[in-house]
Structure 1
Amino acid sequence: MSKAIDGFLEAEEAYVVRSSATAEDLPTASFAGQHDTVLDVSGHDEVLDAVSECMASLFTDRAISYRKANDISHDDVAMGVVIQRMVDADISGVLFTADALTGNRTIASIDAASGLGEAVVSGTVTADNVRVDKQTNDIIEYRSSHSEDSMEFSDQQRILRDEQVLRLVSYGNRIEDLFGPPQDIEWSITNDQVWILQSRPITSLFPVPTPAPNDDGLHVYYSYNHRQGMIDPMPPLSVDYVRQYTMWTLENLFAYHPSEFTSVAGAGGFVYLDVTPMLRSERLAQKWLAGIEEMDEPGVVPQREIVECRGDQLSSAPAVGDGSLRAYLGAIRTFARTAAVGGARTVWGLLNPNYEQFPSKVRTEYEQHVEEAIISIQTAESESDRIRRTVSETSKFGWTATKQLETTAGFISRRILRWLCPDCESEFEALDKGLRDNVTISMVLELGDLADIARESPAVAEALESGAEIDEIRDLEESTEFVAAFDRFMQTYGHRASSELDPSQPRYCEDPSPLLSTIRSRLAGGCSGEHREKLNQLEADADVAIARLEDIADRGFFGSIRRRLVKPLASRYRNYKSTRETPKYAYTHLWAEFRRQVLVAGERLEREGQLQNVDDVWLLQLEELLTALEDPEAWEDLNIDLESRKAEYRAHRTLRGPRVITSNGEIPRGTSSPDQDDSGLVGVATSSGSAEGIARVVHDPRTQQIEEGEILVCPYTDPGWTPLFLNAVGLVTDVGGVFSHGSLVAREYGIPSVVVDGATDRIETGQRIRVDGDAGRVEIIEETP
């Protein structure tokens, strides 16, 4: 190496010695700044020392930690060193071929400073910043380090001339075209000559939704995951499965299906709905945003910002097929069918004299439908046929679920009640609580019953408290009653899970440890029968509220008639509302069946050597999986890089998926009201009341639990989180709205809840907090001991 360096070096010249490791500049891990670069060295000895320093930086603490965080083996990395003649730069800087702050791929961003670029990269100087529209070559903003106001300074204060800015952007476009993804480019200028020093992918950008739209207009996508209160990214097969189910539902129930199905896209492990047709219509935008506000209020602000600021840029592509008369006639038929079924069921819901049997009736009908669907799936001949049939049955379930439109009668009943009894918020809040027939509340009650049964058997209680698993408990002589009850519970709810709309996630029937942990916590802090007494009290409170509403309705004209309407209207509302969770409870049976069939297929592919590990099956697209099962030769021709996909999925888990993203990759932030004041964190009130307790921040309900009397602070909730409600006295979530799952269950179970954006980052386990579900605030009373 020494002789090679001697043959390269020139006297009186300065050089830069740069590290270049094999794991650097990956699409998912840049390693920026992790390895050493040595500037301005000359002569044999200095260059040789710099080379040694760069080689050694492969195993600095920071490099080792970075590789560990990105799951890159230390044994698989090696270091190369680049020696470059040093450019005595007049100006240096960094060019991003996408806007790193907003993610917009049509905007280039440049930081520039006088002299060498190291100061810009390391952040030790304040640089000029320039933002350029790559499509029009317009300089959108030039912010000088010498001026506080953008664009308000003389040309002499600019480091870069307009011509130099546009030349850099042109080079950046060519480099991006060469490599593919948006690039982070280091550059220098000497005597007006541009030198490109280094280019690497920008790894911090959230991916653009795909498939891309087939027109040039701006499209806006809203996260299906956030709509469902689920903010964890999914692997490719799960995304594909959810996309297909959602596309079928949009097409067959709402006639919303642009050509090539760009109405449902995937990005970063999330599923996104193209909401552009709603937003470009003033009337539809109001209705759409009003509906979103009840489920996910923070999702409204960025969408409204786009409508107000860039509404004229929104795509005018037809929302129905190709925009032809035939497509519109088909849409009218679809809407008419859905409206007819929904209207008929709503009218019947208002007239049905047996509405009190509706919760049990609809649950039985759903369970029968799912049982028939699963028999149909399991009797298919091959693995690929069973997977196809699962997708088909899941999609068809969307139409079966229209029977749930009968519950619209419940909300009409509530609206009539509000007209009869205005300004009775506390009474209507009581009507939302204590809904015994809600399938998720039933799950909580039955879990509490299991704890009570265990409490009656000292041997079972002792085994649970010691951390025993269910198979160990089965071996105990005194466990017969508990095990029988536990098996009945699993037969009913074993298909559920945390993040249950992601079929890659294990179900309770595979891993019951979260349920046992909840029972264990209940044994330590609860009292026998306490959970059912609480529900009985909530039902009694609802009866008192109905009596008060009757007294209020009795006042004024036609009081006696108005009074007689109150109880049947209130009972209808409570009975119909209690079925809101039933469809999800039912169709997650099909999600669990899809998981089961995929794993069977994955085990076969692992045995045959097409996959190294059964879990790698989740890295495939649906068609790729079917190809692997049906045509091994075609599978080989696909030449899928599963390791790259695994790294990409791992990278997705480090990104925070946005609620709203555009077709050019921009993530609109919007401006909302202040989220903190003197009294604490300000959020959205979603269940009334107040509670004080120790905060427990939980990210994974499978591995974390809360104790009796604690306040659950978590990113979101779905039914898989419900067991934790048994011990919680309050709830704070990052995302959600008045009608999201966690809020509904919190109200029905009688605990206050508030949605605070970023709650899990701003609240720490161990802090004593107060949740005010009336004002929508969370107050930190005492810091963590």
Structure 2
Amino acid sequence: MSFHAESDRPPPHVLTPSSEEDVIAELSGGKGRNLHTLTAAGFQVPSWSVIGLDAFAAFSRGSGLDERLESLLDEDWESRAGQIAAEIALLIEAAPLDEHIAAAIALAYTQAGGGLVAVRSSGAEEDGTEHSFAGQFDSFLNISGLDQVTAHVRRCWASGFSERSLRYRAQRGLPPGTGGVAVIVQRMVPAERSGVLFTADPTAGRTDRHVVSAVHGLGEGLVSGAVDADTVVLDAATGDLLSTVIGDKQERYDAGTGPGCEVSPVADEDRKALSLTTDDLARLHAVGVRATAHYGAPQDIEWAIADGTLWVLQSRPVTTLGPAPEPQGELRLWDNSNIIESFSGVVSPLTYSFAADTYAKVYDSYARALGVRGEKLREVQEWTPHLLGYVHGRVYYNLHHWYRMVRLAPLYPLNRRVLEKSLGVAESISDETADTLHPFTPGPGLRGRMVRLVRTAIFTGRFLTIRKAMDTFHRDFYRAYEVFNNVDYDALPGDETYRRFRRMQRELIEKWGPMQALDATILLSVGLLALLTRRWLPDAPEWFTWAAAAPGQDVESAEPAWALAELAAKASADAEVRQLLDRTPDADAYRALREAGHGEFLAAVDAYVADYGYRSPDELKLEVPDLHEKPAGLFTLLRDAQPGAAGRGAGDRGGEADTYLDQHLRGPRRWLYERVRNKARAALTDRERLRFCRTRAFGSAKRMLRAIGRDLARTGAIDTWDDVFMLRLEEVRGAYEGMIAHTELKELAALRRRQLAADAELHAPARFTTHGAPYWSGNLERAGWTGGPAARSGARELRGTPCCPGVAEGPAVVTDTPRDIGGGILLTYRTDPGWVAALPSAAALVIERGSPLTHVAVVARELGIPTVVQVRNVTTEIRSGTRVRVDGAAGTVTVLAEPEPPSDSRP
């Protein structure tokens, strides 16, 4: 056994929520990994940092302690565990700290917020799959000041060699001194109420109820047994109160200022009072449902409530229920990530089925373009129709299939990581799972390697010539698009419109496949850029890579924002037009402008609709009219626009990246970095052009399918023309191809409309797993599909992924439609490309879902709007009117002041 570390080992790590997942997994220990998982999943966790496992190795090596430890832990260590533990504790307490270790401890204390903190051990093997090490290591509460923190870090290190830890190892046949102990430094919460939540009854072994134990003040009294807790049992599905037992609160643990916990008497009137309010119980139930769904098993959750915020301190599996039965059937991972940008909330069956059919055709064509043939192509065709799922009216990525798709291109390990970033996926799948996902059965031996080599060569050719291929595609696309777009489909017979729709699918959509090499190009080039940034610019801010890869101010998708700002400037320059727009309802504005003789301004409006009429909110949802059909939406955006706010070049984040590069990177490295950067920028520019094509293709499909709906209504097949959205694409096809009777369609439409209304009332998780048939065997119930809105925790600061630097303060506008922003801070669960025109009206942009490569985030960077994405629960925690500060570089959203309550106007 040896405790020596490498002679050239770098300074010890201090890990934070923004640290890379692989570093967290390697160096943070069991509790540290758990804190990172909770934080990344969006739970409200007190600020923390971890002094990595490598810190003790460096301390031991630098102080000469490692040789002494090795001699103490000889072959006879089991019989002398108590004596050895005491001697090691004295050695660790007395050994000198070098400046690197001392600096790491000071940094960890600072990053946890300073002041009063908890110092907690985090064993490398703790909470493992084979051994839990529960209760084997020490934790200390209410520690204040760097000297005290340093002293308690030493005590945590020593607990890795405590008598109980050594005997635990001996009982399990484990050698001493392996693994090591990381140390967590975490801000203390001045708890008003605290306790433990079990999301299954650990005594009765029942998973249909939650059990809450709670006390006033700090939960250490509950753990130690010094305080008799209140116990509340809740229905696991509904959160309804089933039973309550009020504890005899003879003492209360308070968060004092010294080490340990201070005990104080409880007033007589409090002894019989329930520690928890109805709102507390609702929030605890919501957290329990989320945690169980997230981990896939019942959880034992430590929590505290302070200043109205529910904090999650720790979560571990409930270990007393006995082994759960192994779930049966194929594992599927569902994630709405940035698909919610295109298909938000509940969507119609026609929208889903058209989208799923389009994805299947495109990626089947992509596989063909990479040379996949024969039996391998047939295997690909087994999963391409199922890239998207439809659960209770919501669209989800069937995520494992997307990993299979990414593996069609070379450099899979790099590309899958960038795929997760670009989709905005909150957590990675394990390497073990990722390695099992193939687009088709890999060929063995030399033949398999040759097939992969050929596919790599084909991809490389497409990678190198993607710009030329894009130019050719755009030329052919717009040539065909002009043919399909300039037709009055309502004037055609229904079967002729259907025939043209099928032709449009062949000519505009099925030829899209080879262009998916562009997505692979983005994954590869952005992945390489991020890799070079980490290697050569390790101190670069988190937003830097996205700024370096920004397409530039000529990105086509920003055109609607610039065009709307110019239109707003025209309106502001004419007082009569401005006054008319301000006093006229949006639905009547076009007619009012015409009657008032403002022909020149109407010509500008018509030009905007002609160019960008398909780019409107929910543009890919077939059931939502675009600006061509309902131009009132343009006047809604126009009234809210800030004239001149989106001038070209306003957000020159690429220039900021250039300045940073000039200061920190030169020579051959700079040359190579710029080559990769230019490839990434060009690919992202082309992607925005391609997305505009997608918008127009969906716009054409929308016009055709609406005309088909009116034809079906005229024939009596459906009651009203918009019932067509309640049908699936294959049923529309069946109506014209003789595969379904017209008499079936009315009942189908009525049934689905009722079901969609019920689905809209459900709370949908962002990510969940199922086994076997998703709707069966309690899959969705376990995943957290519940009725009603999520409860607020009262958090004052939320964190997300920095996307565009800058700081803005103002009133929050929490909305699911891009209107009435008025220069406020725009907070939304998701966006879609149709929101671009509203961006100039926002001082900052905060998106709960999505990624730095979300379409609106890309454009926001070009407009210089401070932007943070992936801010969990922001639309639950913050209400409209709340004054907030957004820091786009730090990725934080801070509540400055709650909105004033509405005045009571009653006499």
Match of residue 347, structure 2, among 234, 259, 278: 234
The reply on whether 1:485 has 2:604 as its aligned counterpart is yes
Residue type at the aligned position of 2:393: G
Distance (Å, rounded) in 2 between the aligned partners of 1:476 and 1:331: 72
The reply on whether 1:464 has 2:581 as its aligned counterpart is yes
The reply on whether 1:732 has 2:846 as its aligned counterpart is yes
1:293 matched residue in structure 2: 420
TM-score, normalising length: structure 1: 0.61
Within 5 Å, give how 1:477-556 maps onto structure 2. Answer: 479-522=598-641, 526=642, 528-532=643-647, 535-539=648-652, 542-543=654-655, 545-546=657-658, 549-550=661-662, 552-554=664-666
Q: Deviations over 1:120-142 (max 9, x none)?
A: 999553399xxxxxxxxxxx999
Residue type at the aligned position of 2:658: I
1:636 matched residue in structure 2: 743
CA contact (8 A) 1:433 1:749 kept: no
1:450 matched residue in structure 2: 567
Match of residue 769, structure 2, among 656, 661, 671: 661
Match of residue 612, structure 1, among 687, 697, 719: 719
CA contact (8 A) 1:715 1:735 kept: yes
Q: 1:780 to 1:583 in 2, by over 3 A?
A: same
1:91 matched residue in structure 2: none
CA contact (8 A) 2:549 2:677 kept: no
Aligned-residue offset at 1:720: 0.9
Distance (Å, rounded) in 2 between the aligned partners of 1:349 and 1:124: 60
Distance (Å, rounded) in 2 between the aligned partners of 1:373 and 1:439: 22
Match of residue 498, structure 2, among 381, 384, 407: 384
Aligned-residue offset at 1:245: 1.0
Aligned-residue offset at 1:281: 13
Distance (Å, rounded) in 2 between the aligned partners of 1:625 and 1:370: 23
Q: 1:329 to 1:748 in 2, by over 3 A?
A: farther
Distance (Å, rounded) in 1 between the aligned partners of 2:794 and 2:239: 35
The reply on whether 1:758 has 2:873 as its aligned counterpart is yes
Residue type at the aligned position of 2:382: P
CA contact (8 A) 1:434 1:749 kept: no
Distance (Å, rounded) in 2 between the aligned partners of 1:251 and 1:265: 17
2:21 matched residue in structure 1: none
Aligned-residue offset at 1:723: 1.9
Aligned-residue offset at 1:763: 0.9
Distance (Å, rounded) in 2 between the aligned partners of 1:261 and 1:488: 38
Distance (Å, rounded) in 1 between the aligned partners of 2:405 and 2:354: 30
1:436 matched residue in structure 2: 553
Q: Deviations over 1:89-132 (max 9, x none)?
A: xxxxxxxxxxxx99xxxx9965799xxxx9x999553399xxxx
Q: 1:412 to 1:269 in 2, by over 3 A?
A: closer
Aligned-residue offset at 1:259: 6.8
CA contact (8 A) 1:265 1:274 kept: yes
2:382 matched residue in structure 1: 258
Residue type at the aligned position of 2:769: I
Aligned-residue offset at 1:597: 1.2
Distance (Å, rounded) in 1 between the aligned partners of 2:450 and 2:333: 25
The reply on whether 1:268 has 2:387 as its aligned counterpart is no
1:370 matched residue in structure 2: 481
Distance (Å, rounded) in 1 between the aligned partners of 2:898 and 2:417: 37
Q: 1:580 is paired with a residue of what secondary structure? A: helix
The reply on whether 1:686 has 2:810 as its aligned counterpart is no
2:894 matched residue in structure 1: 779
Report % sequence identity.
22
Q: 1:611 is paired with a residue of what secondary structure? A: coil
Residue type at the aligned position of 1:220: L
Q: 1:612 to 1:230 in 2, by over 3 A?
A: closer
Residue type at the aligned position of 1:661: T
Gap runs ≥5 in structure 2: 1-198, 212-234, 246-296, 301-315, 368-376, 785-791, 901-907
Within 5 Å, give how 1:705-720 maps onto structure 2. Answer: 705-708=820-823, 710-720=824-834
Moved more, 721-730 or 680-689: 680-689
1:47 matched residue in structure 2: none
1:722 matched residue in structure 2: 836
Distance (Å, rounded) in 1 between the aligned partners of 2:875 and 2:859: 20
CA contact (8 A) 1:432 1:747 kept: no
Distance (Å, rounded) in 1 between the aligned partners of 2:405 and 2:470: 37
Residue type at the aligned position of 1:655: L
Aligned-residue offset at 1:567: 7.2
Distance (Å, rounded) in 2 between the aligned partners of 1:458 and 1:400: 51
Distance (Å, rounded) in 1 between the aligned partners of 2:598 and 2:886: 39
Q: 1:359 to 1:735 in 2, by over 3 A?
A: same
CA contact (8 A) 1:413 1:572 kept: no
Aligned-residue offset at 1:404: 4.0
Q: 1:578 is paired with a residue of what secondary structure? A: helix
Q: 1:260 to 1:762 in 2, by over 3 A?
A: closer
Q: Deviations over 1:239-281 (max 9, x none)?
A: 1111111112232314533279455443222344444467799
Structure with larger RCO (C-alpha < 8 A, sep 6+): 1
Distance (Å, rounded) in 1 between the aligned partners of 2:629 and 2:447: 47
Aligned-residue offset at 1:603: 0.9
Residue type at the aligned position of 1:243: A
1:49 matched residue in structure 2: none
CA contact (8 A) 2:884 2:897 kept: yes
2:698 matched residue in structure 1: 591
Distance (Å, rounded) in 2 between the aligned partners of 1:500 and 1:479: 29
Distance (Å, rounded) in 2 between the aligned partners of 1:279 and 1:545: 31
Q: Deviations over 1:639-669 (max 9, x none)?
A: 7343221111112222243333324443687
CA contact (8 A) 2:885 2:894 kept: yes
Q: Deviations over 1:462-509 (max 9, x none)?
A: 111113544224425652332222212111111122122222221121
TM-score, normalising length: structure 2: 0.54
Within 5 Å, give how 1:216-235 maps onto structure 2. Answer: 216-223=329-336, 226=339, 228=341, 230-235=343-348
Q: 1:507 to 1:334 in 2, by over 3 A?
A: farther
Distance (Å, rounded) in 2 between the aligned partners of 1:543 and 1:111: 56
CA contact (8 A) 2:645 2:841 kept: no
Aligned-residue offset at 1:593: 1.4
CA contact (8 A) 1:229 1:716 kept: no
CA contact (8 A) 2:799 2:891 kept: yes
2:730 matched residue in structure 1: 623
Q: 1:579 is paired with a residue of what secondary structure? A: helix
Residue type at the aligned position of 2:631: P
Distance (Å, rounded) in 1 between the aligned partners of 2:655 and 2:331: 52
Q: Deviations over 1:401-440 (max 9, x none)?
A: 3474696597489579857777555776654568222122
Residue type at the aligned position of 2:381: H
Distance (Å, rounded) in 1 between the aligned partners of 2:416 and 2:244: 40
Q: Deviations over 1:62-91 (max 9, x none)?
A: xxxxxxxxxxxxxxxxxxxxxxxxxxxxxx
Match of residue 398, structure 1, among 493, 512, 518: 512
Q: 1:538 is paired with a residue of what secondary structure? A: coil
Aligned-residue offset at 1:699: 1.3
